[in-house]
Amino acid sequence: MPNQAKKYIGVKAADTLRAAVENQGKWVYYLTMEGIDSGLSTQFAKDAMQELGEYYAEHEYSECNCVEKFVNQLMNRSMEMGQEAIVENKSDAGFDLKIGYCPMLNMWEQLTEDGEKIRDLCDVACSMFKGLAAKKGMNVEKQSAIAKGDDHCVFCFRKDDSV
Amino acid sequence: MLKNIQLVNDTLSKEVRFENEKRGMIYYQMVKHAVQAGLDKEKYSRAAVNKIGRDNSRSFGVYDNLPDFVYSFMNEGLISQFRPELMSMDDCKARVDFHYCPMLGGLYNMTQDAQELELLCDCAMETDRGLTSALGLEFELGKTIANGHDTCELCFKWKGDNNA
C-alpha cells in the first residue's frame, strides 16, 4: 500500500501529531474489533464516529457557516503536516480534501495484515466526516482511499442543496 | 467540578491535547454505541482497552529493574500531556501522579455524569493494567481526578520474581 509519509520528515511537530493520530487509530482498532468479536457488525463503530463528527460540527465548527470558514477550521496542522492534506477545487459549492498520508492506516497495518478489515476500519474512521458534513449542510463522498490502494484519500465535500 | 486543569500550553502541546481529547471522545462514543447495540459497558470497555495497553508494551523495552521502566514510562509525550510527577520511587515501588488527563478532558466534553466518568476513567486505566501485566509488573490505581481528587495516583510495583 502506498501509505508513506513524504513531507515533513523528521519535523518534530509532524512526528508528534502523527503519533497522536496513530494512537487514535489504535483505539479505533481495538474498540471496533472488541465489538465485532462480541458479535456486532461495524455499524456500531460507524455510528459512534458519525456522532462524534456531529459533536464537532456543533462545537468546533459552530461558527463555520461557509465553505471558506469550514476549510480554515478543518486544515489544522495535524491535517496539513501529519496527514499531508491539501484542499482542491474550493468554491462556494464545496471542496475536495486530498490526504497524502494516513497515520491511522499506518497503525492498522501494524496490527493486522487483513486488507478487508483495514478497509472496514477506514470506513469507520471516515464516518466522522459524514457526521461533520451532514450537520453543516453538506454531503461528503470518499472518492479514493489509500487503504484501497489509491495514492491519496480524496473526500468531496459538497453543499447539500436539498437542505 | 473536576480539577482537570491543563497548564502546558505551548502550540504543539495544545495541538496534541486536542488529538488526545479526541481519542477520549472516540472512546466514549464507541462505548456508547456498543452498549446501544447490546454489549455490557464495563465488560466491553475493559476488554478492549486492556488489549490496547498490552499492545502498548511493544514500544517499551525489557526491564530488569523498576526505575528503568518508570523513566521509560515518563517520556516526553507523557510529560507534556499528563504533567506526571514522580512522587516516590525505590527498587520495589514507584508512585507517579498525573496532574492532568486529556482523555478525561475528552470524556468530560461528552458527559458530566460523575458516575459515568468514574467508570469510563477506571476502564481507560486498563491501558496501564494491560501494559504492566504484559511487562510483568504490578499496578494499582489510587485516587483519580475523575473521582474529584487533584491528581491520578499510579502505583507501579516490581515483582520479586520478575525476569521480564
User: Quick one: how far is CA A59 from the chain centroid?
Assistant: 18
Q: Can you tell me the distance from the alpha carbon of A125 to that of A64, in angstroms, rounded to the nearest whole number?
A: 22
Return the higher-pLDDT residue of B108 and B161: B108
For A30, name the nearest residue in chain B, comparing CA atoms only: B48
Is-contact B19 A21, C-beta < 8 A? yes
Q: Which three cell numbers stand for residue A81?
A: 503536516
Q: What per-residue confidence (pLDDT) applies to B161? A: 62
Q: How far lies B56's CA from each of A110, A111, A112, B84, B131, in Å?
A: 12, 11, 15, 18, 6
Per-residue pLDDT for B164 more than 80?
no
Please give the DSSP secondary-structure letter assigned to residue A131.
H
Interchain CB distance below 8 Å, A31 and B31: yes
Per-residue pLDDT for B162 more than 80?
no
Alpha helices by DSSP H, A61-114: 67-74, 77, 103-111
**Phi, psi for residue A14 in degrees, rounded to 5:** -65, -45
Q: What integer is the mean pLDDT of B20-38?
A: 98
- The mean predicted confidence, pLDDT, of chain B is 94
Confidence of residue A12 (pLDDT cuts 50, 70, 90): very high
Sheet order of strands, B93-98 included: B84-89, B93-98, B152-158, B137-141
Task: Provide the phi-psi class of B127: left if phi over 0, else alpha when psi is between -120 and 50, else beta.
Answer: alpha
Instruction: Tell me, yes or no, if A42 comes closer than 8 A to chain B by beta carbon.
Output: no
**Helical axes B11-36 vs A43-58, angle rounded to 10°:** 130
Q: Which residues on chain A are in Cβ contact (under 8 Å) with B109?
A: 55, 59
Q: What per-residue confidence (pLDDT) applies to A24? A: 98
Task: Considering only the beta carbons, identify the residue of B19, B33, B44 that sits closest to A17.
Answer: B19
Q: What per-residue confidence (pLDDT) applies to B159? A: 86
pLDDT 10s digits, A30-76: 999 999 999 999 999 999 999 999 999 999 999 999 999 999 999 99
Instruction: Tell me, yes or no, if B26 comes closer than 8 A to chain A by beta carbon.
Output: yes
- ipTM associated with this complex: 0.96
Domain spans in chain A, listed from the N-terminal domain onward: 12-159
What is A12-159's CATH number?
Answer: 3.30.1380.20
Instruction: Tell me, yes or no, if B78 comes closer than 8 A to chain A by beta carbon.
Output: no
Q: Which residues on chain B are in Cβ contact (under 8 Å) with A40?
A: 34, 37-39
Q: How far lies A141's CA from each of A70, A74, A89, B14, B47, in Å?
A: 16, 16, 14, 30, 34
Burial environment of residue A107 by CB neighbours within 10 A (0 to 12, 13 to 18, 19 or more): buried
pLDDT 10s digits, B121-148: 999 999 999 999 999 999 999 999 999 9
Q: What residue ranges define each of the domains in chain B, with the CATH number in brackets?
A: 11-158 (3.30.1380.20)
pLDDT 10s digits, B145-155: 999 999 999 99
pLDDT 10s digits, A114-131: 999 999 999 999 999 999
Is-contact A146 A152, C-beta < 8 A? yes
Burial environment of residue B48 by CB neighbours within 10 A (0 to 12, 13 to 18, 19 or more): buried
Q: What per-residue confidence (pLDDT) applies to B163? A: 47
Q: Can you tell me the distance from the alpha carbon of A89 to that of B148, in angstroms, rounded to the nearest whole number?
A: 49
Instruction: Tell me, yes or no, if B34 comes closer than 8 A to chain A by beta carbon.
Output: yes
Q: Which three cell numbers stand for residue A35?
A: 465489538
**Phi, psi for residue A52 in degrees, rounded to 5:** -65, -40
Q: Can you tell me the distance from the alpha carbon of B136 to that of B164, in angstroms, rounded to the nearest whole number?
A: 6
pLDDT 10s digits, B109-123: 999 999 999 999 999
- Positive or negative: CA dihedral A119, A26, A49, B45: positive
Interchain CB distance below 8 Å, B26 and A31: yes
Q: What per-residue confidence (pLDDT) applies to A20? A: 96
